[in-house]
Structure 1
């Protein structure tokens, strides 16, 4: 077996960047790149929780046909929102959350989405993962959004050694150069969806196999 070269985060990101051009962008990045407002990014991110990208995109599009702002959202009933966003995961709860958040934005923020982690995580149903993704995709503010792909891959490549996504975020905040913060989630989500799968990843097609220790990989393709 060829000897692995020393892992370098800049080389890793550059290699993923090169191959990323051939892959589909994660759904929130795709929506943001089409000119979505911070509110639309926030709504789309909430819809995406526990939901596949191929379900999130059409659901967001159906909802945005009738409500692209907090003002428009509060004119809808929970049932009307449910009908638009079905079959996203937990759609009845998400419909109520969207109305609640829209009212808070109108009451406290003049209808605008706040651009700080503290204010975003104070909104009902918005955790650190969602808040960080809104900062990155809605405002292009450097933040580290750690979902299952970022957590898994950051550990698999040996860049961090953590047990939970929250631990991974804190470790990356200390270690990951800030120049990579905005793109890190986008790149690793696409990488995780296409090649670096949770089970039996496609190591034979991976652009960083020569530097990856393949931590925790029992079998691969």
Structure 2
């Protein structure tokens, strides 16, 4: 018999477990001083289809050259592409970033607004990056769902969804707003290191008494 879901207790237990694991890339970069909306949005773009182990050093390399839209627009597409080497689709990401920087300069006086609709209107920015940047840089309540978060909450049986976008909407109905940003902060590394895709560590999981273990056939 599984316990009824208690999101606060579940997240608190996971937080205790995650202290021994690396933080998700954008949260780590924030702790190191890269706190602006622009920096956070660019680091999220770098992370697309790229491991955190690569995203963090590539982000730092970029920020050594440019940390503001005004500084970034001075870089050539070829130069920016080279800086982003190691991140997947670095050429496309270079053009995306330059477009964001130009829009920031032309429409927002060099500073991106803490507004979901404005961020999502930027070419190349999807819901995941917009919500992450908002939550981390501006502390606005926002839920960001990547493949890890989507898998974990469906495995729990908390939601039954087929797409991350639908997972966001389902979670917004069940998670207190003051814990929205914790969904990605905690569940991304939880899904990467503990509640893994092929062989989750159920025998040492702090919330196994809540988890319905949907679809789990083997575990360690």
Q: Say whether the fold is shared (TM-score over 0.5).
A: yes
Q: Check whether the contact 2:161–2:167 (CA below 8 A) recurs between aligned residues.
A: yes
Aligned-residue offset at 1:4: 2.9
| Separation in 2, partners of 1:168, 1:218 | 23
* Paired position in structure 1 for 2:9: 11
* Paired position in structure 2 for 1:113: 112
| Separation in 1, partners of 2:89, 2:46 | 9
The C-alpha deviation readout for 1:120-169, integer Å capped at 9, x for no partner, is: 00001001111000001111111000111111111111111111101100
Task: Judge which range, 4-13 or 195-204, deviates more.
Answer: 4-13
Task: Judge which range, 33-42 or 102-111, deviates more.
Answer: 33-42
The C-alpha deviation readout for 1:67-113, integer Å capped at 9, x for no partner, is: 11111111110111111111101000000111111000000001111
SS at match of 1:83: helix
* Paired position in structure 2 for 1:182: 181
* Paired position in structure 1 for 2:49: 50
**TM-score, with structure 2 as normaliser:** 0.96
SS at match of 1:89: coil
* Paired position in structure 2 for 1:77: 76
| Separation in 1, partners of 2:138, 2:8 | 24
Unaligned runs of 5+ in 1: none
| Separation in 1, partners of 2:214, 2:208 | 12
Task: Judge which range, 31-40 or 68-77, deviates more.
Answer: 31-40
Segments of 4+ in structure 1 off by > 6 A?
none
User: 27, 30, 33: which is aligned to 1:29?
Assistant: 27
The C-alpha deviation readout for 1:154-194, integer Å capped at 9, x for no partner, is: 11111111111011001111221112112111100111111
The C-alpha deviation readout for 1:29-64, integer Å capped at 9, x for no partner, is: 000122212211111011001100011111111111
Q: How many equivalent residue pairs?
A: 219
| Separation in 1, partners of 2:167, 2:45 | 21
Unaligned runs of 5+ in 2: none
Q: Tell me if 1:137 matches 2:106.
A: no
| Separation in 2, partners of 1:176, 1:110 | 35
| Separation in 1, partners of 2:210, 2:65 | 48
**TM-score, with structure 1 as normaliser:** 0.96
SS at match of 1:65: helix
| Separation in 2, partners of 1:5, 1:118 | 38
Q: Check whether the contact 2:132–2:181 (CA below 8 A) recurs between aligned residues.
A: no
